[in-house]
Amino acid sequence: MIPENQNQFQPPQRRYPTVSFVIPAHNESAYLAATLKKIHQSAAGLKLNYEVIVVDDASTDDTSEVAKNNGARPIKVNLRNIGAVRNAGAKEARYTCLFFVDADTLLPQKTLRQSLDAICSGAAGGGAHVVIDRIEDVDWSKLMLYYLVRLVWQTIGGWAAGCFMYCRRDLFEHFGGFDEEYFAAEELFFSRSVKAHGPFKIVRNPVVTSSRKFHSFTTGELIRFVFLPLLSPEGRFRSKLGLEVLYEHDR
């Protein structure tokens, strides 16, 4: 005879490590609240012990207030170097795993769970596939550029996308974090460093990031940013020249 409560049995939930979410932000008040809300929802769904740190890098809007009002701990810096900003947040982190999430990127619970499962299974770190919001409004030429970059960057290169990266904190501290000599491509150097210390996992479930750069810049400007610096990444990314897509926020 089958016990009446057998169909009600649920397997115990996996116990995940503690997580510090680090969000670099410069004038991100328009996007930040939604990003924080999604992180809280996803983390609560997995019953995580976690914290959220927003690194406010020389904002002139109310980014820090938005962070504080949405359950995050704001830290103010004036660095204007994305790797240095991420490092500043990591230095304040208290927990076992570091998750770097951009201020305009939504982290679904399934993506978070797959990432934590990867760490629990021995991965040193990794990233996730990326989808663009409002992609139907993006010009076809920019859309083709996006798919090409995704193919080269993640499928062929096996590197994490900059909008979402994760790793064990002890390894991050061991290899010294993000290389602050570079103003871009920090995710490439991060991916290489993590891979040198263990398995690197790009999880299948994606994060959702904003399409704002596609709407703010011309196809020509995007092509210049994507291809010209890649001809010599070790040297080109040591300057902000040509990186307006990343550091110009007036559009």
**Number of Cβ within a 10 Å radius of residue 140:** 8
| Reported pTM | 0.83
pLDDT (0 to 100) of residue 230: 57
Residue 34 lies in a domain: yes
Residue 7 lies in a domain: no
Could you give the CA distance from residue 163 to residue 39 in angstroms, rounded to a whole number?
14
Beta strands in the chain (DSSP E): 19-25, 50-57, 73-77, 97-101, 105-106, 125-132, 164-168, 200-209
Residue 6 lies in a domain: no
3-state secondary structure of 89: helix
pLDDT (0 to 100) of residue 236: 60
Looking at the 3D structure of the chain, how many domains does it have? Answer: 1
CATH code assigned at 180: 3.90.550.10
pLDDT tens, position by position, for the chain (251 residues)? Answer: 444 444 454 445 678 999 999 999 999 999 999 999 999 999 999 999 999 999 999 999 999 999 999 999 999 999 988 899 999 999 999 999 999 999 999 999 999 999 999 999 999 999 999 888 776 676 777 677 777 676 666 666 677 888 999 999 999 999 999 988 876 778 888 999 999 999 999 999 999 988 677 666 676 666 666 665 555 555 566 655 555 556 565 44
Residue 9 lies in a domain: no
Please name which of 193, 182, 18 lies closest in space to residue 94, comparing C-alpha atoms: 18
Residue 160 lies in a domain: yes
pLDDT (0 to 100) of residue 21: 98
pLDDT (0 to 100) of residue 132: 83
The answer to whether the Cα torsion of 33, 102, 172, 177 is positive or negative is: negative
Residue 39 lies in a domain: yes
pLDDT (0 to 100) of residue 123: 96
Domain that holds residue 186: 16-247
Residue 98 lies in a domain: yes
Residue 8 lies in a domain: no
